[in-house]
Amino acid sequence: MPLTLEGAAMPTPDLFEQESNALERAMAARDNPALSGPQLREALGDLVDHFERLMRDSRRLIRRSDREERELNVLNEELHRLASQLEFKAKHDSLTGAYNRGAIFERATVHLNRGALALVVLDIDFFKSINDSYGHPSGDAVICEVVNRLRSAVTSEADIGRVGGEEFSILLPGMSFQAALRQAERMRQAIACQPFDCLPGRMVTASFGVSWTAEHGAFGDAYARADEALFEAKRGGRNQVCAARAVGR
């Protein structure tokens, strides 16, 4: 119950006071045998007027409520859309749409908690010279095309991540070491098989390292072994796949 400035309690206002009074007058008229026909019609007319006003107000409130509900639904959908966008941006590389470094490492840990994991790491060969010769926009186009070709070469279960400028990691959960080596070779061929439209007359290649880790293994160790194999591929002439020491097979 609201209080006045002096602290005294005030009665709660009755939103339907006028309608209640009209109803009481109509009931009193109904129960009064001494009233004439015109008096009864007057009491009934008063009640009808208040009832019609109440109906108009109710319809107006319902329309307003429906409109506000629609607006709230639109706002709610927009909030969900923005939340989804923020979640996507937090986990994906803005240039390619592949997973970013943090997300790919997180997913690798999840995969290893469920089973074995094959890991492929790759690095675009001589990427600095591409940027220097053709400019950074062309370099960005090469990176996007590499990701597109990787997507066309891997299975649907694979996770592709961009972990550095021209460095990528591909997670192959549940795949054997030999199958992962064959998968990496398909990736290598997908990149090197034909020129990139953004680099007329120049081929693009990549070097690959592959590791395999049993369930509950450490992803840091898996990554270190795959990275070591990648450097072996680069030292061996690039554009090739090298296998890391396997653990727990």
User: How high does pLDDT run on average in the chain?
Assistant: 89
Enumerate the active-site residues: 166
Q: pLDDT for 63-118, tens place per residue?
A: 888 888 888 898 889 988 888 888 889 999 999 999 999 999 999 999 999 999 99
Domain residue limits, the chain: 17-73, 101-243
Q: Report whether 185 contacts 210 (CB < 8 A).
A: no
Query: For 210-239, what is the mean pLDDT?
Result: 97
Q: Give the other-Cβ count within 10 Å of 34's Cβ.
A: 5
CATH dotted code for 101-243:
3.30.70.270
Q: pLDDT for 140-158, tens place per residue?
A: 999 999 999 999 999 989 9
Identify the pLDDT of residue 129: 95
Q: Does residue 41 have a pLDDT over 60?
A: yes
Identify the pLDDT of residue 5: 52
Q: pLDDT for 52-61, tens place per residue?
A: 787 888 888 8
